[in-house]
Amino acid sequence: MSGESKRAAARQRIAAKRTAEAAARAAAERRRRTVIGGVVAGIVLIVVLVAVVVVQTHRTSASAGAAAPANTTGNGYVFAVGSADAPVTLDLYEDFQCPNCKALEDSTGSTINGLVTAGTVQVHYHGMAFLNTAQNGQYSTRALNAAAVVTNAAGPEAYKTFHDLLFANQPTEGGSGLTDDQLIAYAAQAGATGAAVEQGIRDLVYGDWVAQAEDQASKDGVTGTPTVFVDGTKLDDLTPDGLTAAVTAAQQ
């Protein structure tokens, strides 16, 4: 082999060695990044878990000390309307800002009222508050808080009157929501008046309770509104005929 050939072969060996070394360094760098990424991911996971624990601890703490309205029933998040001796229980989950809840009230509310008046049904109203926005001033929470204030001050029948007033005068979704002054005026129409009522509405005295009521609805398996159960069975047909048929079947 000539000298030039030997030099060319040497250059090829050196180039191959450098290529192999570069590949090895790249592989090592990838392994290092993978390890670092795993460590970072682990740290992030720990931080997330700590945050969840902190939030849950805060929720539990708030639950233990939060003000709760009088004249509720069940687990403390139920507004019961109608005779306790009624043979059928209707559970209704709703948000005062929910347009579909208003549609249900408009279409089937009179049927529900008739069944309550006849002593056939006791309605358990479960308030939810998930349609809060900056534009409506957290209206879902303010409305449910106001309903709790009314119930605390004047009882379940006043709650029902207030409930009907809020749905009859429901603000447009995406709008500004009813003001506290308007909620106070409707509370007075329902029979709940006085400084304590006004302060309770303005100061969100049951704000923590509202958040807990929302959590309870989630624990009950409710993911949207309106949701209706007749003696524990979810009602799919929310028309007057559908409700009447379900109540009749529950009595048999």
Q: What is the pLDDT of residues 202-240, one digit of tens each?
A: 999 999 999 999 999 999 999 999 999 999 999 999 999
Q: What is the pLDDT of residue 67?
A: 83
Range in 33-47, 96-110, 111-125, 133-147 with the lowest mean pLDDT:
33-47
Range of the domain at 38: 1-65
Q: What is the pLDDT of residue 74?
A: 86
On whether both 37 and 105 belong to a single domain, the answer is no
* Mean pLDDT of the region 101-107: 98
* Mean pLDDT of the region 40-63: 34
Q: Is it the case that residue 54 has pLDDT exceeding 60?
A: no
Q: Which of 91, 201, 212 is nearest to 148 (CA)?
A: 201
On whether both 100 and 180 belong to a single domain, the answer is yes
On whether both 45 and 83 belong to a single domain, the answer is no
On whether both 114 and 170 belong to a single domain, the answer is yes
Q: Is it the case that residue 75 has pLDDT exceeding 50?
A: yes
On whether both 114 and 177 belong to a single domain, the answer is yes
Rounded to two decimals, the pTM is 0.75
User: Does residue 159 lie within any of the structural domains?
Assistant: yes
On whether both 99 and 59 belong to a single domain, the answer is no
80-84 contacts: CB < 8 A, separation 24 or more?
A: 80/122, 80/123, 80/124, 80/125, 80/156, 81/116, 81/122, 81/123, 81/125, 81/156, 81/157, 81/159, 81/160, 82/116, 82/119, 82/121, 82/122, 82/123, 83/116, 83/119, 83/122, 84/122
Q: What is the pLDDT of residue 250?
A: 98
User: Does residue 71 lie within any of the structural domains?
Assistant: no
On whether both 59 and 83 belong to a single domain, the answer is no
On whether both 106 and 219 belong to a single domain, the answer is yes
CATH assignment at residue 103: 3.40.30.10
Range with the largest mean pLDDT of 24-38, 45-59, 211-225: 211-225
On whether both 138 and 220 belong to a single domain, the answer is yes
Place of tokens 């079947």: 249
- Name the pLDDT band for 66 (thresholds 50, 70, 90): confident
Q: Is it the case that residue 111 has pLDDT exceeding 60?
A: yes
On whether both 89 and 50 belong to a single domain, the answer is no
Range in 11-25, 87-101, 153-167, 213-227 with the lowest mean pLDDT:
11-25
Q: Is it the case that residue 9 has pLDDT exceeding 50?
A: no
